[in-house]
Amino acid sequence: MRHFKFLYIIFLLAFISCGSADTCKDAKGTISWLPYASTDKGQVCVDEGISSPTIDIACRELGGHWEGAPVNIHRATDGSTIGKNGFAISQSDSQVDIYAPDDLGILYGVYALLRNPELGRNGRVEDSPSYDLRLLNHWDNLDGTIERGYAGKSLWKWEGLPDSVSPRYEEYARANAAIGINGTVLNNVNASPKILSEEYLKKVAALADIFRPYGIKVYLSVNFASPMVLDSLPTADPLNPEVVKWWTDKADEIYSLIPDFGGFLVKANSEGQPGPMDFGRTHADGANMLAGALKPHDGVVMWRAFVYSPADADRAKQAYLEFQPLDGKFADNVIIQIKNGPVDFQPREPYSPLFGAMTATDGMAEFQITQEYLGHSNHLAYLAPMWTEFFDYVQPSSIKAVAGVANIGDDDNWTGHPLVQANWYAFGRLAWNPQLTSTQIADEWLSMALVDKAQTPEDVYESLLDMFDTSREAVVDYMMPLGLHHLFAFGHHYGPEPWCDVEGARPDWLPKYYHRADSTGLGFDRSPSGSNAVGQYPEPLRSQLASVETCPEEFLLWFHHVPWTHRMKSGNTLWEELCIAYQRGVEKVEEYRQTWEKAKPYIAPELYTDVETCLATQLKDAKWWRDACLQYFAQYSKMPIPAEIASEMRPLEELMKIHLPITNYESPTPALLDSLR
């Protein structure tokens, strides 16, 4: 037995106590993977010399929520194999031991144990994060709106900060720490320079103080022209000494308020944002200048590769064209943040060829958790399968960090759709360990958040699991199967508008640029005889993608313009296969409604009704997509839509009249959709 200097027996109330764990499954305002029920009996012993606000939280969580044998907390010894922020757990009937090389590792171990009380029972379990940076990106504006946010207004109540502090700030930190997220970029990449004003930095510091003991660092998106806007400098040229001094001073000011500030995220020379190229400089010049200002403080610059100046005829090629030649020119505290696909968070994209193409530069993946292109907060689209698909192509070890554009707002349930807290959870789990499978994560979430697994018949549970696991593929099917992409309505990106034309809009913002439907066929020719975007991929993938015969069918129309009569692997023509896919998507949603009905006895009543409403909207939307796209494309294919689909379709002319009066900051309500369709 070890000798314990300190023995904490903690009888603390949980932050929010509501009786029993099960009743919490429908409680509004809760985070589905956190414990709320207070047991007040967890017994914790901490080795001598281990003490910090983070350890206090670990003890408080165990004290309030742990029902098993006493827990002993140890510092892992020098020779230990446990990685930074990792932990090891072993338990017997009489005691649980948690070892970690640092305090945050202990906190992560505690949350892992609370999530899975059996952890370490059959032998010591060791776990540590795959990446040092596991970040959320909030596209939150300072006026409280959220770009592409579908869960209400921003969590950050800037007008009240720094004095008035919402209890949700700490709950947010707790939720993130519990799944291993360790950083947050608070503001929109379309950044207001005001975030760097003294007034706002004090507000940011107040949030950082709350997040710090949970191991969460704060980062900011910065506007490259900030020195001009905030302090009237005549230029923001990154090689100008006054500009360099401005950023150096600004970094010093930030670190005097927030000593562990993480760094900057930058969207430059993209979609109208200012950047170094406005001054005849390169991305590397801009990024390195900011990196120099942050370097003495150990801060990083995450420089986004989401750029598409119309230099080439194919938007999908542009990030690579602009960034790949700069490989090796970036400072060592710069990370290039690359969206998972080469266009823009479509329901399915091939991976961006920039991954793996910059071997002398650190890169990180940017995923989108908020469902800008997957039905906003109205559709169930469990996104882990999309992210694990990415890791099937991109070696997890080839990137340095992972970021996810948050789906979090001030709605009661935090994320809008009642089931998509699962996507926040899944992002955190995969950022911790990209080798986890999507089914495993869905299983964890369902049994923690949705139903009591032991009380739910196996077939019901399996159907729910299948509903989660197939839901993203269903969205692909009813929105844009076989590699189609960007068929969305202009601006808000909610419904189907493959016909969309907006006077004065950039062509690459319009669906026709992407689908290229004509009498000969459908799809964007990115083969060597087309834009040759395939040339940006390494062999042997390049050759595989380059040929219609070998290109995986889920990417066919992404890479090829294919004749309507082309024979698919199934033996069907392209046109027939397209009809089958759209219909399959619709039928999947019909199946989800049955699954949900079957699960009714095992689901909390209010949650049941909320999801039932969402699924009804999702089904109407799926049919809307199917009817709009098939009838629109039929004008070019001149081929018939199968009678069983055609008989229930709304005429194309009617569908083309639907225009949703919504901004880029909201989801259409079911009532609005019903009134227009």
The least distance separating ligand GCW from the CB of residue 376, rounded to whole angstroms, comes to: 12
The least distance separating ligand GCW from the CB of residue 118, rounded to whole angstroms, comes to: 41
Q: Which of 77, 109, 108 is nearest to 96 (CA)?
A: 109
The least distance separating ligand GCW from the CB of residue 137, rounded to whole angstroms, comes to: 9
Per CB under 6 A, which region of 61-69, 182-190, 205-213, 315-323 contacts ligand GCW?
A: 182-190
The least distance separating ligand GCW from the CB of residue 94, rounded to whole angstroms, comes to: 53
Please tell me which residue in 118, 143, 199, 271 is annotated as part of the active site: 271
CB 223 within 8 A of CB 191: yes
DSSP assignment string, 6-34: EEEE-----SS--S-TGGGGG-TT--TTS
The least distance separating ligand GCW from the CB of residue 664, rounded to whole angstroms, comes to: 6
Query: Judged by CB under 6 A, which of 189, 307, 374, 422 binds ligand GCW?
Result: 189
The helix (H) or strand (E) run that includes residue 431 is: helix 421-432
Nearer to ligand GCW, 146 or 534 (CB): 146
How many C-beta atoms lie closer than 10 Å to residue 537's C-beta?
A: 23
Query: Judged by CB under 6 A, which of 90, 190, 447, 532 binds ligand GCW?
Result: 190
CB 341 within 8 A of CB 553: no
Q: Which residue is nearest to ligand GCW (CB)?
A: 344
Residue 449 has what DSSP assignment? I
Our answer to whether residue 271 is catalytic in this structure is yes
What is the rounded CA–CA span in Å between residue 116 and residue 124?
A: 14
Our answer to whether residue 344 is catalytic in this structure is yes
Per CB under 6 A, which region of 187-195, 390-398, 608-616, 644-652 contacts ligand GCW?
A: 187-195
Residue 519 has what DSSP assignment? T
Our answer to whether residue 312 is catalytic in this structure is no
The least distance separating ligand GCW from the CB of residue 336, rounded to whole angstroms, comes to: 14
Going from the C-alpha of 511 to that of each of 111, 496, 662, the distances in angstroms are 45, 10, 19
What is the rounded CA–CA span in Å between residue 461 and residue 550?
A: 37
The least distance separating ligand GCW from the CB of residue 147, rounded to whole angstroms, comes to: 5
Site string for ligand GCW, 350-389 (x = CB under 6 A): ----------------------x-----------------
Nearer to ligand GCW, 128 or 346 (CB): 346
Nearer to ligand GCW, 500 or 611 (CB): 500
Per CB under 6 A, which region of 97-105, 185-193, 380-388, 650-658 contacts ligand GCW?
A: 185-193
Can you list the alpha helix ranges (DSSP code H) found in 324-406?
384-393
Does 145 contact ligand GCW by CB under 6 A? no
Does 306 contact ligand GCW by CB under 6 A? yes
Q: Which of 520, 519, 514, 510 is nearest to 533 (CA)?
A: 514
Strand-pairing partners, residue 522, are 562
The least distance separating ligand GCW from the CB of residue 629, rounded to whole angstroms, comes to: 21
Please tell me which residue in 344, 444, 621, 666 is annotated as part of the active site: 344
Nearer to ligand GCW, 345 or 596 (CB): 345
What residues between 646 and 675 interact with ligand GCW by CB under 6 A?
664
Residue 295 has what DSSP assignment? G
Nearer to ligand GCW, 272 or 504 (CB): 272
Report how many residues bind ligand GCW under the rule CB under 6 A. 13
Please tell me which residue in 61, 237, 285, 372 is annotated as part of the active site: 372
What does residue 342 show for φ and ψ, rounded to 5 degrees? Answer: -80, -10
How many C-beta atoms lie closer than 10 Å to residue 69's C-beta?
A: 14
What is the rounded CA–CA span in Å between residue 244 and residue 235?
A: 11
**How many alpha carbons fall within 13 Å on the CB side of residue 451?**
23
The least distance separating ligand GCW from the CB of residue 6, rounded to whole angstroms, comes to: 48
What residues between 257 and 296 interact with ligand GCW by CB under 6 A?
267, 271
Per CB under 6 A, which region of 58-66, 186-194, 245-253, 287-295 contacts ligand GCW?
A: 186-194
Site string for ligand GCW, 553-582 (x = CB under 6 A): ------------------------------
Residue 553 has what DSSP assignment? G
Using left for φ > 0, alpha for ψ between -120 and 50, and beta otherwise, residue 305 falls in alpha
What is the rounded CA–CA span in Å between residue 473 and residue 156?
A: 33
The helix (H) or strand (E) run that includes residue 675 is: helix 670-676
CB 337 within 8 A of CB 629: no
Nearer to ligand GCW, 91 or 340 (CB): 340
Nearer to ligand GCW, 470 or 664 (CB): 664
Query: Judged by CB under 6 A, which of 74, 134, 138, 148 binds ligand GCW?
Result: 148
Cis peptide before 325 (omega within 30 of 0): no
The helix (H) or strand (E) run that includes residue 581 is: helix 574-598
The least distance separating ligand GCW from the CB of residue 344, rounded to whole angstroms, comes to: 5
Q: Which of 187, 262, 268, 285 is nearest to 225 (CA)?
A: 268
Nearer to ligand GCW, 148 or 429 (CB): 148
Does 546 contact ligand GCW by CB under 6 A? no
Does 303 contact ligand GCW by CB under 6 A? no
Going from the C-alpha of 608 to that of each of 452, 593, 597, 602, the distances in angstroms are 14, 11, 9, 9
The helix (H) or strand (E) run that includes residue 74 is: strand 71-75
Does 532 contact ligand GCW by CB under 6 A? no
What is the rounded CA–CA span in Å between residue 484 and residue 516?
A: 10
What residues between 332 and 351 interact with ligand GCW by CB under 6 A?
344-345
Which amino acids are annotated catalytic? 271, 344, 372
Report the interface residues with ligand GCW, using CB under 6 A.
139, 147-148, 188-190, 267, 271, 306, 344-345, 372, 664
